[in-house]
Structure 1
């Protein structure tokens, strides 16, 4: 049946009913994720007013990718991906209810929120790993890049709408109430995914997990382009995550923005990503995947500098009095919004290039393990970078962190330009 799907190429990706089901399921998951992503750091800030604690919380969220992604990839290859995805959604719903109860009833809910954040991201990664395999299964090779771009468009559309809606909800309700809303969205995703008629390929069986991991490593390392891309993604994922969480801290501590104003900032990020996701496949056809990946990584780094450049214009204390002081803070919000928009609009090109190349370069029977291994490596430096960024900001200021992110990302782009990745079409 899978071979028939690959031969019968539909005139449009939207003619595939199974892709439409996966897309609509992803809608509920993505909407819930965007609300959760905004609510959690704001809740931590409300409880602690600490950049260090915000950095630690964000670091804990990425530990599952470091500790479990390798094994999740093997498990996904061994089980029915549809059933696996539904189990991941059930796990997330349970974690969200636990988070709500902790904030509602405990004097110090952080003791529960930290492990819940870990579990939330572990289940989330398990769901997304299986989703990639399902897309590989139900769509022909020629539509893989289009499917990746359309999924990215969905996530960026909801990144535009979700933060604004959740920011408004946070003004009307206690922060922890949104956990129940997110759980409801995941419940809708569960029932939507249940409609999928999924003809699973025969699960890969190995004598042990270690044997499966060894084969996955061999397949990955044999593709030198993907290996070089992976090394660079380890850096750019860390710089992007540090910029995101410390920009949120900057918006609350220095610009003194409200929850909904922070939502506007992240919505600007969604708008930028939405524009990029609808043009990425066209730009790739013109310049090639490798060139687009390298250039987008370098250009994205410029967005990290915009808040720094704005502050330098107001560095003299003589200009920070009265009217000009108000102008400084008001313009600071707009500059930060522009920065979010730029980083997302340009950064989505590199993300789509990375996901598309991985999707196209490996067979379905290897994709779960390769995605697991690369997923682990992609996030390898993030917990350390995020945890350390809070202390860096406390010691030297947030602008130092932004400059460091810019410098490391540009260096990574220049190194990638020296490899054969630049020749990928």
Structure 2
């Protein structure tokens, strides 16, 4: 059976797309509503910053709960509680005056539940698909997510055109209803694990032991910590560089940022043939180097076209790299540990980002945004050299890294 004839995969893809659109709406709406209520850029920035916390602080623990639970019921529960939170916040805001802390807490809970659903979906994809379909499946999810991300400026405009910004919360809640119904169509998954259950700490330790046992995934995790750090530096600086340095207006900025999304779409289409020809270690090493060269293009950018070119290639190589990482993690992790390993690595992946983003802000303020891009380019080149010297590049591990690419 081909991937696109797999009913369970299509249910996961369509429901995931609906949820991604809904999530994008409320992620845009919450800071705008908060700013409309407080007229405080600080309050708006804090709301944005809360997006990082669930993944950084709770991902490993959520992984244990996902491994304990039936994935379908966990997914339905996560979506249903988000629906209830959004509906409650809509009516509270429409007919009351909630404090900013209500928005902060609700935002934190929504992001936590969103990550809980994402973790369960990783496990469900591994459960319903054979190994050879994991790469194209992840590419399809990435393509859909990137396409929706490109819609960000259009969705922002839609929200701003609403007579009541709070309606964005209600729109998201309504969108979550068909997604929840679709997930209910999935067949009941089997018992979460045949492995005897210990206490919470012991189960978490089992996830850590699995990661430490998997030498390749451990090396990839270390690489991704640094890759995400340089990506975070660039993402945190690009708007400031475009607006303050190049003096782009909002329309031009939207087009420039869309170039990164278009590059991501191209990467999603390229990954399957690349995976069939090359090992993940080689792909990760080369895309790390090429992302560094894309950052170098940003360093020398003196107009919007060059900036868009750098973002296009950054989006393409970053997407190829991300899909390889997700796929190898799914392929190499036992089913009963996938939630824990996904949670632990997901949390580890973000470890360097807060520090990198703070450093990028400091460098931009005291020196220039171009220096941030140059620093990110040099760091990626250093990472490529390290990758080239590691086991990821060794021919000895080529077949291990391919696993089920064909």
Tell me the TM-score normalized by structure 2.
Answer: 0.86
Partner of 2:111 in structure 1? 121
Partner of 2:157 in structure 1? 168
User: Which among 249, 257, 263 is matched to residue 257 of structure 1?
Assistant: 249
Cα distance change, pair 111–338 in 1 and its aligned pair in 2 (3 A): farther
What is the CA deviation profile of residues 7-60 of structure 1, one whole-angstrom value per residue up to 9, with x for unaligned ones? xxx1x111111111111111111222344455566778884457x974x55443
Name which of structure 1's ranges 232-241 and 350-359 shifts more when overlaid on structure 2.
232-241
Partner of 2:80 in structure 1? 90
Query: How far has the Cα of 1:114 moved from its partner?
Result: 3.5
What is the CA deviation profile of residues 121-147 of structure 1, one whole-angstrom value per residue up to 9, with x for unaligned ones? 211111111001111111112212221
Matches within 5 A, 1:128-207: 128-160=118-150, 162-173=151-162, 177-203=167-193, 205-207=196-198
Partner of 2:280 in structure 1? 289
Name which of structure 1's ranges 107-116 and 150-159 shifts more when overlaid on structure 2.
107-116
Matches within 5 A, 1:357-396: 357-396=328-367
User: Which among 1, 18, 22 is matched to residue 8 of structure 2?
Assistant: 18
2:20 is equivalent to residue 30 of structure 1: yes
Cα distance change, pair 297–176 in 1 and its aligned pair in 2 (3 A): farther
2:199 is equivalent to residue 243 of structure 1: no
2:265 is equivalent to residue 274 of structure 1: yes
Q: Distance in 1 between matches of 2:291 and 2:32?
A: 25
* Uncovered stretches (5+) of structure 1, i.e. residues with no partner: 1-9, 312-330
Cα distance change, pair 387–178 in 1 and its aligned pair in 2 (3 A): farther
Query: How far has the Cα of 1:291 moved from its partner?
Result: 0.7
Cα distance change, pair 245–286 in 1 and its aligned pair in 2 (3 A): same
Q: Distance in 2 between matches of 1:37 and 1:341?
A: 24
Cα distance change, pair 89–265 in 1 and its aligned pair in 2 (3 A): farther
Cα distance change, pair 176–380 in 1 and its aligned pair in 2 (3 A): farther
Partner of 2:376 in structure 1? 405
Partner of 1:341 in structure 2? 312
Cα distance change, pair 192–126 in 1 and its aligned pair in 2 (3 A): same
Alignment RMSD (CA, Å): 2.9
Q: Distance in 1 between matches of 2:97 and 2:368?
A: 31
Query: How far has the Cα of 1:109 moved from its partner?
Result: 6.4
Cα distance change, pair 300–36 in 1 and its aligned pair in 2 (3 A): farther
* Uncovered stretches (5+) of structure 2, i.e. residues with no partner: none
Instruction: Give the conservation status (yes or no) of the 8 Å contact 1:271–1:341.
Output: yes
Cα distance change, pair 101–336 in 1 and its aligned pair in 2 (3 A): farther
What is the CA deviation profile of residues 240-281 of structure 1, one whole-angstrom value per residue up to 9, with x for unaligned ones? 1332233234445553533x6554444322221111111101
Partner of 1:351 in structure 2? 322
SS class of match (1:68): helix
Query: How far has the Cα of 1:151 moved from its partner?
Result: 1.5
Partner of 2:225 in structure 1? 234
Query: How far has the Cα of 1:156 moved from its partner?
Result: 1.9
Q: Distance in 1 between matches of 2:167 and 2:388?
A: 47
Q: Distance in 1 between matches of 2:85 and 2:241?
A: 29
2:216 is equivalent to residue 225 of structure 1: yes
Instruction: Give the conservation status (yes or no) of the 8 Å contact 1:232–1:412.
Output: yes
Instruction: Give the conservation status (yes or no) of the 8 Å contact 1:269–1:342.
Output: yes
